[in-house]
Amino acid sequence: MIYSGRDVDQASGSSPRVEALNAAHMRLLLTSAQVSTSNQWADQPQALMLQTWLLRKLRVLVALEQDATKADRLLSLVILRSLNRRKSCWQLELEERQEPTGTSRISVVRQLLHEALSDGVARSQSWLIRCDSNDQDQLDLARELGFQPLRRFGVWRVDPPSVSGPPASELPSQCRWSALDNSTARQLFALEQACCSTHHRQILDRQWQDLVDQRSKGCGLLERIDSDQNQVLAGLVARPSGFARPRLELLRGVAWDDRLMDALPPALERLARLQPAPELLVDEDDERLQVIVQRCGFQSQQTQLVLGRSLWRKLGSRELSGIRPLESMLGRLQPQQPPLPTPTLGRER
């Protein structure tokens, strides 16, 4: 299926085209990852990438350009990922692989995002997108398309050699780490909801089952075990990002808990030993949490801005057919004769 191009530089005479990912593009997808200036896409096994696409868990659009030999070059791609079972909110994950030769980079991105937002498969009214906070062109384009800033995150990555050897510390005796499953999802979901603004929660439109559906290795929650009631201190939820290495968002309660200073480092050390080690997303305004993450060997890579867009469809004439003016519904109640006098509360003297 081929889409018509929009907002491209027609003066160049070479307009990229946007297509839905199919088997013919797989060679271009692998080649573009090898020649890209960034090696982040080489971290995820290609077999897993193909399996995910074949299972229809992802919707992928690619921007192609023909070179001098009329051979296709894959410039960029955008992944459309549903964030809930209702498919009411989708995430756009943009990956730029190669620089275009016949038009500007931002023109290709604009064309991809335009087609994604009008995609006939997603048909979504709510969208999320993550942008590098230093990429002003992409931020301006996102705002032009109706996206508004929601949250700011730091992306942290650990160096595997720095965590080699036996574990350096254990969880405190009164704390435990529980993996994400049906029994812990409700607690982790409540923690996620507390960390999001009301507008962000409305756009996501999630339920606790959505966390289970999208879980990945490393997801779970850190609990303080008491005799009467357990208390959730922190948690990790999956935040997929294209074909790059897995990403987890580090969550904590609204109020700071000093017990995190001792309980969180052992949990993060276990996380750093996973293969491949996930990247961490940490709230950019949470300085105390960033200090703990840095002490555990993670290094800041970049800052990302999460932007959201939500459009509410207007009710059509068919949906309004059952609605009538108030006057018509009360028409039969109109008095046909002068009103009766109001009775008095007592006799007049």
User: For position 39, which CATH number holds?
Assistant: 3.40.630.30
Quick check: is 163 in a domain? yes
Burial profile 13-40: b = 16 or more Cβ within 10 angstroms, e = fewer: eebbbbbbbeeebeebbeebbeebeeeb
Say if residue 224 is in the same domain as residue 295. yes
User: 152-183, pLDDT tens digit by residue?
Assistant: 999 999 987 565 556 667 898 889 999 999 99
Give yes or no: residues 7 and 87 share one domain.
Answer: yes
Number of domain units in the chain:
2
Domain co-membership, 141 together with 284:
no
What string of pLDDT tens digits covers the 349 residues of the chain? 444 444 444 444 468 899 998 877 777 777 766 545 444 444 444 555 555 555 566 788 999 998 877 788 889 999 999 999 999 999 999 988 888 888 899 999 999 999 999 998 888 889 999 999 999 999 999 999 999 999 999 999 998 756 555 666 789 888 999 999 999 999 999 999 999 999 999 999 999 999 999 999 999 999 998 867 788 999 999 998 877 778 999 999 889 999 999 999 999 999 999 988 899 999 999 999 999 999 999 999 999 999 999 975 443 444 444 555 555 555 555 555 565 566 555 555 4
Pair 27, 160 in one domain: no
Same domain, residue pair 45 and 128: yes
Query: Each residue of 234-270: pLDDT tens digit?
Result: 999 999 887 777 899 999 988 999 999 999 999 999 9
- When the pLDDT of each residue in the chain is averaged and rounded to a whole number, the result is 81
Q: Are residues 134 and 211 in the same domain?
A: no
Which residues, in sequence order, are bridge partners of residue 299?
157
Is residue 21 located within the same domain as residue 163? no
Report d(CA 181, CA 220) in Å as an integer.
8
Look at residue 320 and tell me if it is in a domain. Answer: no
> Would 319 be classed as within a structural domain?
no
Evaluate whether residue 294 is within a structural domain.
yes
In this structure, are 18 and 106 located in the same domain? yes
Does residue 344 fall inside a structural domain?
A: no
Do 171 and 134 reside in the same domain of the chain? no
C-beta atoms surrounding 73 within 10 Å: 19
**Cα 198 from chain centre:** 16
> What residue numbers bound the domain in which 243 lies?
156-308
Residue 233: name the closest of 176, 317, 276 by CA: 176
